[in-house]
C-alpha cells in the first residue's frame, strides 16, 4: 500500500501547520481559558478555504480527500483542540448532510456559504432523553399549512449559537402517511420564529467550543427546508456520523501528538537527582509507549480515510479508528501530565488543557461503547 500524501494533501497540511503555529497556537488558548468560541479565527480559516474541506469546488469548497482532511487535522489540532473541534464539526456533520442529501437549490442556499467560510454549520441529533439511542428522540415535525411545524429540544449542539452560525440541520420524528413512525432532517435557520438557543454549556474541556441547548417552540418551516428523504432521515444522519468518527479519530491523533511533544520537551529540561528526567527509564518508557500507540492509531485512522476515499466500505474501520485513537489520547494525556508532575496539574500549563480536552473524544459522535456495538455488528453479532 502507498499511504504517502499527494502534493495537494501535503500542501494543505503545510498550510495548516503554518496557520496553526502562527495564529491558532498564539490566540486560541486565551479563548479556551475565557470559555469563548473564537469565530474570528474560524473566519480566517474560512478565508483559506479550510471550511469547505470536503465539499467539491462547484459548491464553494476545495474538494479535499478524507486523507488530506486527516493530515490537515493533525496539524491544526496540536495547536488547539477547541478550534479544531469546531472546525471538524462544521466540515463533517455540519456541512455533509447538506451536500449528501440536499437538492441543488438547498446546496446553493445553505451549503455554499458554509463551504466558502461565511457561516458555521451545526448538526442537531442529541436530546436530553436521547443520546446514544437516536431513535428515542422526541422532537417532532408535523405537516402544517404546506410546511412543517417543529416542536422539541436538542442538547449539546455545537456551532449553533455563535455570531457565525447559520442555524442547524436537525433530526425530528415524523409519521408516514400510514401513521408509522419515521424520522426526517430539516434545516432551521437562525432567526426563525420559535427557534432559540440556551447559554453556552460549561464543559471540562473544549472550552472554546460553542455547545448549547436548542429549543423549538412551534417553529414553522416550509417544505423546501426538508432535507433528503422524509422516511429515512435517521439513516441519513447516521451516515454522516460515519465520517465524523474518522474526524474524531484524527482529532485524537493531534491531541496525542501535542501531549507527546510537550512531555518530551519537559522531560529533557526538567532536572531531578542531578539529571534531566528524560534519562530515567521509567520516563523514557512512557514516551516510547505513547509514540508507539500513536503510530498504531495513526495508521488505523489513515486507513479508514483511505477506504472512504477509494469508495470501499469503511464503517468498521472508522469505528475502530475512533475507538483506538480516543483511548490512546485520554491515556496519553494522563501519562503526559504524570511526566510533568505538579506543573502538569496546573491549569495554566498547556498539558493540563489537553488533559481536560481529551475525555470528550471518548464521548462525542458516538461513545466508545457505541463504537464497540458498531464493530461487533460488523463482525456479525
Q: Examine residue 213 and tell whether it contacts ligand FAD (CB under 6 A).
A: no
> Does position 97 bind ligand FAD by CB under 6 A?
no
Shortest distance in whole angstroms from residue 116 CB to ligand FAD: 21
48 close to 324: Cβ distance less than 8 angstroms: no
Q: Give me the least distance between CB of 158 and ligand FAD, in Å please.
A: 4
Q: How many residues bind ligand FAD (CB under 6 A)?
A: 21
The smaller minimum CB distance to ligand FAD, of residues 57 and 136, is found at 136
Q: Which stretch binds ligand FAD (CB under 6 A): 7-15, 68-76, 138-146, 150-158?
A: 150-158
Neighbour tally for 153: CB within 10 Å: 17
Report how far residue 8's alpha carbon sits from residue 253's, in angstroms, rounded to the nearest whole number. Answer: 21
Minimal distance in Å, beta carbon 207 to ligand FAD?
A: 10
Q: Which of 101, 104, 188 is nearest to 147 (CA)?
A: 188
In angstroms, the Cα distances linking 122 to 174, 260, 263, 329, 365 are 21, 31, 34, 25, 13
Q: Does 204 bind ligand FAD (CB under 6 A)?
A: no
Who contacts 216 (Cβ-Cβ below 8 Å, separation ≥6)? 139, 150, 151, 152, 153, 154, 170, 188, 194, 195
Q: What minimum distance in Å lies between the beta carbon of 160 and ligand FAD?
A: 8
Separation of alpha carbons 45 and 214, rounded Å: 26
**Cβ–Cβ under 8 Å, residues 319 and 326:** no
Q: How far is the CB of 268 from ligand FAD (least distance, A)?
A: 34
- Name which position in 157, 248, 287, 351 contacts ligand FAD (CB under 6 A): 157
Q: Which of residues 290-329 bind ligand FAD (CB under 6 A)?
A: none
- N- to C-terminal Cα distance for the chain? 30
Q: Is 175 a catalytic residue?
A: no
CB atoms inside a 10 Å sphere around CB 48: 15
| Packed helices 25-34 and 39-47: angle between N→C axes, nearest 10 degrees | 150
**C-alpha dihedral (356, 361, 363, 367), degrees to nearest 10:** -150
Site mask, ligand FAD, residues 332-371, x = CB under 6 A?
Answer: ----------------------------x--xxxxx-xx-
In the list 35, 63, 194, 203, the residue contacting ligand FAD (rule: CB under 6 A) is 203
CA distance 317 to 335: 26
Count of other CB atoms within 10 angstroms of residue 45? 23
Write each residue from 98 to 127 as x if it is in contact with ligand FAD (CB under 6 A), else as -, in one continuous string: -------------------------xxxx-
Residue of 3, 10, 14, 132 that binds ligand FAD (CB under 6 A):
132
What is the nearest approach in angstroms of ligand FAD to the Cβ of residue 359?
9
Residue (132 or 275) nearer to ligand FAD, CB:
132
The CB-nearest residue to ligand FAD is 131
Out of 105, 295, 365, 369, pick the active-site residue. 365
Is 89 among the residues that bind ligand FAD (CB under 6 A)? yes
Minimum CB distance to ligand FAD, residue 73 (Å):
17
The DSSP-derived string for 319-351 is HHHHHHHHHHHHHHHHHHHHHHTHHHHSTTSHH
35 touches ligand FAD by CB under 6 A: no
Q: Report helix, strand or coil for 170.
A: strand
Nearer to ligand FAD, 322 or 340 (CB): 322
Active site residues: 365
Query: Residue numbers of the site for ligand FAD (CB under 6 A)?
Result: 89, 123-126, 131-132, 156-158, 203, 206, 211, 360, 363-367, 369-370
Amino acid at each position: 500500500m502507498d499511504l504517502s500524501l499527494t502534493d495537494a494533501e501535503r500542501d494543505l497540511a503545510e498550510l495548516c501547520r503554518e496557520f496553526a503555529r502562527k495564529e491558532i497556537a498564539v490566540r486560541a488558548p486565551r479563548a479556551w481559558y475565557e470559555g469563548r468560541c473564537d469565530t474570528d479565527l474560524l473566519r480566517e480559516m474560512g478565508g483559506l478555504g479550510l471550511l469547505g474541506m470536503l465539499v467539491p469546488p462547484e459548491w464553494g469548497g476545495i474538494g479535499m480527500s478524507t486523507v488530506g482532511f486527516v493530515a490537515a487535522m493533525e496539524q491544526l489540532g496540536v495547536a488547539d483542540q477547541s478550534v479544531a473541534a469546531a472546525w471538524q464539526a462544521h466540515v463533517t456533520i455540519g456541512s455533509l448532510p447538506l451536500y449528501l442529501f440536499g437538492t441543488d437549490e438547498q446546496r446553493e442556499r445553505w451549503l455554499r456559504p458554509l463551504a466558502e467560510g461565511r457561516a458555521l454549520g451545526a448538526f442537531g441529533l442529541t436530546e436530553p432523553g436521547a443520546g446514544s439511542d437516536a431513535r428515542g428522540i422526541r422532537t417532532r415535525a408535523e405537516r402544517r399549512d404546506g410546511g412543517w411545524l417543529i416542536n422539541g429540544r436538542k442538547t449539546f449542539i455545537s456551532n449553533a449559537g455563535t455570531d457565525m452560525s447559520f442555524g442547524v440541520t436537525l433530526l425530528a420524528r415524523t409519521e408516514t402517511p400510514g401513521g408509522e413512525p419515521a424520522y426526517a432532517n430539516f434545516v432551521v435557520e437562525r432567526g426563525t420564529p420559535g427557534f432559540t438557543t440556551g447559554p453556552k454549556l460549561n464543559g471540562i474541556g473544549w472550552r472554546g467550543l460553542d455547545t448549547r441547548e436548542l429549543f423549538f417552540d412551534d417553529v414553522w418551516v416550509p417544505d423546501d427546508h426538508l432535507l433528503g428523504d422524509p422516511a429515512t432521515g435517521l439513516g441519513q444522519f447516521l451516515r454522516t456520523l460515519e465520517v465524523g468518527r474518522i474526524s474524531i479519530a484524527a482529532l485524537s491523533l493531534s491531541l496525542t501528538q501535542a501531549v507527546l511533544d510537550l512531555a518530551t520537551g519537559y522531560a529533557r529540561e526538567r532536572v531531578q537527582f542531578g539529571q534531566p528526567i528524560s534519562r530515567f527509564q521509567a520516563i523514557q518508557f512512557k514516551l516510547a509507549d505513547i509514540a508507539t500507540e500513536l503510530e498504531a492509531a495513526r495508521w488505523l485512522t489513515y486507513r479508514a480515510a483511505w477506504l472512504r476515499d477509494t469508495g470501499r466500505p469503511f464503517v468498521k474501520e472508522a469505528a475502530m479508528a475512533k475507538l483506538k485513537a480516543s483511548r490512546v489520547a485520554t491515556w496519553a494525556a494522563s501519562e503526559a501530565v504524570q511526566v510533568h508532575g505538579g506543573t502538569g496539574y496546573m491549569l495554566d500549563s498547556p498539558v493540563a488543557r489537553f488533559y481536560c480536552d481529551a475525555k470528550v473524544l471518548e464521548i462525542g459522535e458516538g461513545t466508545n461503547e457505541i463504537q464497540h456495538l458498531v464493530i461487533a455488528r460488523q463482525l456479525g453479532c
